[in-house]
A = this chain, B = another copy of it.
Amino acid sequence: SDSYSLLILPGDGIGPEVMAEVRKVIDWFQSNRGMRFDVSEDLVGGAAYDVHGTPITDETMAKAQSVDAVLLGAVGGPAYDNLDFSVKPERALLRLRKEMDLFANLRPAQCFDALADFSSLKREVVSGLDILIVRELTSGVYFGEPRGIHSDGNNPENEGGRVGINTQRYTSGEIRRVARAAFELAKKRKNRLCSMEKANVMESGVLWREEVQWVHDNEYPEVELTHMYADNGAMQLVRRPSQFDVIVTDNLFGDILSDAAAMLTGSLGMLPSASLGVPAANGRPKAMYEPVHGSAPDIAGQGKANPIACILSFAMALRYSYNEGAAADELEAAVERVLAQGARTADLMGPEGGTPIGTAEMGDRIVAAL
């Protein structure tokens, strides 16, 4: 078989530490499952800014465009908080998303049974929870023009004299393509899709609702589609998250709702994500994978970060970029097994205490469980 190309961007904070554990997993699949990975590595975020004065170089962008998959650790940290908007570590993420056209962000919110008690929600509300949020990632208010801060002339009614503007802009085509991705995923799951917007107050939400409905009626009539206002969606996620299977929503709502959903599960340090674009000539979509957790500067460099979210992000790469679904299942099962055996990094320790294991030991155990 030909080799699988992978660009690793460890980034900042705990990114490099958790990525080291993914390397072990990659080695295992190379040694034991006859896969060949062509792995390269580069700087991103604050780490890139420190060296190059930019959070991502053109060379790294070109590399990201050419590989089958990018695996990113995390970006940002207090050292970079006061950087100018245009060179903040986050710009690297936004540039990767936009230039690679990664329009479908898949954010599973899954409660690992061994961790159900770790949620702030009651066990019976989150136990077995398994929902998938599909967030539009390359348009909406994150990218619309005009944008910026400008002077309001001498408007006497505007104390302070400035105006801040962003534009929420969606085309029907942008909505349809992410809707299709969500319908496809729903078909492989429980066949239910809930679309969220604020069609009661925003015309872009009206368009969103109409276009998702159009894709349903014309292409996926067999999938059960419902629509919900995003504020009610936030409520329902808290009240009874298990009512959902797949949720599709826009860039900004998706940011908020997927983070809330991740926290509901109690498994935040466990959650992966995939950002997928259009399939290339070889059939593989442009793709970037990253753990949902951030760079966690408070524990960086201490060897106690949880590598599972990053390892599960690699499992998503196996599934969506390399078409190695069986290997992805194998890796996910190994993680479940290690958790069931009671292995816990510090972030997964409940109030009952116990002895946490470190980043490297968690990685080793997962490899051993494979």
Contact = CB atoms under 8 A, between A and B. Distances in A.
Contacts of A30: none
Interface in A265-307: 268
Query: What band does the interface of chain A fall in when counting residues whose beta carbon is under 8 Å from B?
Result: 35 or more
Contact of A169 (B85, B88, B165, B257): B165
Nearest to A255: B231
B164 A167 contact: no
Nearest to A163: B171
A263 interface: yes
A266 to B, nearest CB: 9
Contacts of A259: 231-232, 234-235
Interface of A is mostly: helix
Contact of A161 (B155, B169, B172): B172
What is the total number of copies of this protein in its complex? Answer: 2
A122 interface: yes
A141 B202 contact: yes
Nearest to A117: B122
Interface stretch (A3-11, A63-71, A205-213, A329-337): A205-213
Interface string A158-182: 1111111111111111111100000
Contacts of A161: 172
A170 B160 contact: no
A158 B256 CA distance: 27
Contact of A198 (B159, B170, B207, B255): B255
A97 to B, nearest CB: 11
Contact of A207 (B162, B204, B205, B255): B162
Contact of A263 (B175, B202, B235): B235
Given A121-B121, A152-B171, 13 more contacts: A85-B203, A152-B172, A158-B174, A160-B171, A160-B176, A162-B172, A163-B171, A163-B172, A164-B203, A166-B204, A168-B168, A198-B255, A232-B259
10 contacts: A90-B201, A120-B125, A120-B238, A160-B171, A160-B214, A165-B167, A166-B167, A166-B205, A167-B168, A237-B260
Interface of A: 85, 88, 90, 94, 120-122, 125, 141-142, 144, 147-149, 152, 155, 157-177, 198, 200-208, 211, 214, 230-232, 234-235, 237-240, 252-253, 255-257, 259-260, 262-264, 268
